[in-house]
Amino acid sequence: MTGAGWSCWTTAHKSFFHSSPDQLRSAEWVLADPLTTGLGDLPIAWEISAREAPDRGIAAWTAYFTAGIPHEALTAFALALDVRKEPAWGFDGIDAVTQVLAAADWAPDADDPEHTFWDASMTSCWSWTVSPAGIEDQDPRPDLPGWMAWSQPELGSPYLWCAAFSHSAPQDLVGAFAEALVAPAPVPRRTLPTVSERCLTVSHMP
């Protein structure tokens, strides 16, 4: 982010706050903040948001990513936000996300086929559902839906990672995250989560 001209400083809670040159986009590393809440019993690592104007107090939308989030998907989301001319608003429907999942052969959930999708191993899920408490959005109405995504290699086991996007998050940005997340190309990893070994195809680099 700093390479794109974003500024960075440390907050009172020892988090790192990044801001775009126009001050409309921000990304904060909050893992060190003891007041930060979590998703799926995992601590939130990144909060990314956008505002209509630099002096606007409330964010138009906010996206939350826990520790363990695949960095390729997070990077794709951040880069898409950086180049978006209007970061605070989006008018695409959720098809911008569901079409990405369908193209990657993610299966509709039997009970909620229009809003919930599973990967072939049934260990990762996307769902357009009521957002958890604490998700910040410019729309004050209660019980608004937003995208949730998570990976849980075994039923009842801890989550590997979770992501949540507030109701007003532009769908094309969420789609960029989804597209990177479901891409079949191999990704480099130094260590592999033990619980996910049966779900992975491992290729050793020379």
Contact 136, 58 (CB under 8 A): yes
Contact 124, 193 (CB under 8 A): no
The dihedral through the CA atoms of 132, 53, 11, 17 has a sign that is positive
How far apart CA 131 and CA 174 sit, in angstroms, is: 15
Query: Once rounded to an integer, what is the mean pLDDT over residues 7-13?
Result: 64
Q: What is the pLDDT of residues 167-183, one digit of tens each?
A: 999 999 999 999 999 99
Contact 50, 173 (CB under 8 A): no
What count of Cα atoms within 13 Å lies in the side-chain half-sphere of residue 152?
Answer: 17
How much is the mean pLDDT over the chain?
Answer: 88
How far apart CA 167 and CA 169 sit, in angstroms, is: 6
Query: Once rounded to an integer, what is the mean pLDDT over residues 40-63?
Result: 93
- 205: confidence class by pLDDT, cuts 50, 70, 90: low
Q: What is the pLDDT of residue 32?
A: 74
Q: What is the pLDDT of residue 44?
A: 94
Q: What is the pLDDT of residue 93?
A: 96
